[in-house]
Structure 1
């Protein structure tokens, strides 16, 4: 028996059936899916359990860590500063963060930070575990860090350092904590149940995250995990320095930190809502997230080719991944789709041609580098339904 809850438009029943089918996997725990088409929600579903003992049912308002699906919210926060004339995309970031202008970083721009071209995917010197939760310590470590390559000459995904590379300039410009800024300027106006840094009152709603056992992903995942075993390499440092990056997901200090690269906590409904606006050029029904010129700029290819961190080809716009050429790397819809996956399976993206906003979250982490097959299968099913409706 399926325990799928929520709403679905009958024209997308096939997607609901697939979502229910995914729950039949013996390791499946909890998940939620939300899809908007134009101004309408056509799917808003959830199923499974949220606690580690598999006793507590996943509810309509259950929250879960969506990892790197958080990054585009940080990017939009900075692009809002560009729109307000507080910072220029191609001006040195050191203009708002003077301490950053050392170790060969004097000319690094916001555009390079947003598109993973800065050479700051990782901190080289070993940091103590608690540094991850010390904003000043992480910002200082990145201010002192020399780029791993000549900025602008290559790109390498910054899985975690992105939080401070964007967050510290945001603090300098707005004089606000990044989590509070994102809450007040993005989440509240859009009606998103999403936080970067949870208040105590929301902690009981957070699903416990676990990993799928005995699954090793595809060739790309195996190459990445092998590189993580070389402690001095860029990949290992990017994902494992401080070591607390790999061990903190279910801890309160992680849930309450403001790591806008990786610890956003929300639901599929919130992701779909965020991407619904970007599918419409940043504005819908009088709610505005960003100017359409800046949304168009987000979608433009800024970096492509072999990724120095992920060790596979990637394509980035500003703060977003673009449709990838590698098998299983795309969003499963049209060629103009853009968005961001999160570690373990979560996915938020839009297809502006189809006017689709998509959000998928799960508390059962899979071992893939880019798109998780579960989210991708759902996306492809949505797209199939849309094509049949045309």
Structure 2
């Protein structure tokens, strides 16, 4: 029997914690997504000007187990900015330069057309090796790196002159740069240099298997809900799977902790010292890939060096993984495939982090994501 069929959808889902502000439109979007079978639950965090407005779970994480604010949810690619900031810290230490070729640290990467690829190309998704024959969730780290290094640049691709979102490949290279420069595996580095200093105690890029078991019912996997045979991905929803480090996609934790990450970045912009310098943060979050057609998303999208940025001017109702119609021009963040997003809107001093624990397909998710982002702004009366 599919796991999804054991969820009780006969009654209206309720929040497991109270909100600090009325969010009627947002709740309608959440209720609709659960009623349609797109996801069994939602975890949402909203803060503005440092004040917490919403921190709650909604619906179920597992059959019969409520989603709470403390549930450990999957962020998928919404974790990419964390790896980006790890690179930024190495920039601050003078150990990495954004426009330096990757071969400066990984000499064997420089083959089959990839010799000129820089760190910036990796971060802006203009490097040109999207499709690599690696088994991301099964092959050992060193074998994956070797496979990437031996991969050929895509035909007619000049790094920096074409754009196409790299789901995984380039982020392993960024993780390997961290390892070769610092000496620690990227998951350990992120845990010790970003998560722990920010008090993100339950956030992981690779969760130890014993910790997965300790968390127990707090673990809330993401379900495949598109086909009608809904199931929890067997790789993602096991202790062994949670222990695998994928620098561009294996983040987990309560979604409020992803919100904490963005609150910290807003504080740096406001002038406070933090885990990365203001100059470096501006380099990472300021749009630098402009008006380029993304060959993965099949849409023109702007980008920063490791962060997605507001691109609604390229099509408010069509741009994928945006932050809604009301976000400020300087909004930066990142989404996770068909499920999650986290972003900071400096103009409105707003932080949003959320996860739907169901992947219903792009055609269903994109309207769902736009609807909840728009509803949050409308409920806060900053639309």
What's 2:3 paired with? none
Aligned equivalents of 1:289 and 1:5: distance in 2?
33
What's 2:162 paired with? 154
| Alpha-carbon shift at residue 23 of structure 1 (Å) | 3.6
Change (3 A) 1:373 1:274: farther
What's 2:8 paired with? none
| Alpha-carbon shift at residue 16 of structure 1 (Å) | 4.4
SS of the equivalent of 1:379 reads: helix
Aligned length: 353
Aligned equivalents of 2:93 and 2:41: distance in 1?
40
Show CA shifts across 1:64-98 (max 9, x none): 22111011111110011011100111111211112
Q: How does 1:1-390 map to 2 (within 5 A)?
A: 1-10=12-21, 12=23, 14-16=25-27, 18-20=29-31, 22-51=33-62, 54-123=63-132, 126-127=133-134, 129=135, 132-148=138-154, 149-192=157-200, 193-199=202-208, 200-203=210-213, 204=216, 205-213=218-226, 248-281=235-268, 288-303=274-289, 304-324=291-311, 325-326=314-315, 327-329=317-319, 330-332=322-324, 333-368=327-362, 372-387=366-381
| Alpha-carbon shift at residue 113 of structure 1 (Å) | 0.9
Q: Let me know the Cα RMSD of the aligned residues.
A: 2.5
Which segments of 5 or more consecutive residues in structure 2 lack a partner in the other structure?
1-11
Q: Indicate conservation of the 8 Å contact 2:226/2:361, yes or no.
A: no
Change (3 A) 1:130 1:190: closer
Q: Indicate conservation of the 8 Å contact 2:137/2:241, yes or no.
A: no
Change (3 A) 1:388 1:116: closer
Q: Indicate conservation of the 8 Å contact 2:56/2:68, yes or no.
A: no
TM-score computed with the length of structure 2 as normaliser: 0.84
Change (3 A) 1:364 1:187: same
TM-score computed with the length of structure 1 as normaliser: 0.83
SS of the equivalent of 1:294 reads: helix
| Alpha-carbon shift at residue 49 of structure 1 (Å) | 1.5
Aligned equivalents of 1:377 and 1:356: distance in 2?
17
Which segments of 5 or more consecutive residues in structure 1 lack a partner in the other structure?
216-245
Aligned equivalents of 1:143 and 1:10: distance in 2?
50
| Alpha-carbon shift at residue 22 of structure 1 (Å) | 4.0
SS of the equivalent of 2:66 reads: coil
Change (3 A) 1:69 1:369: farther
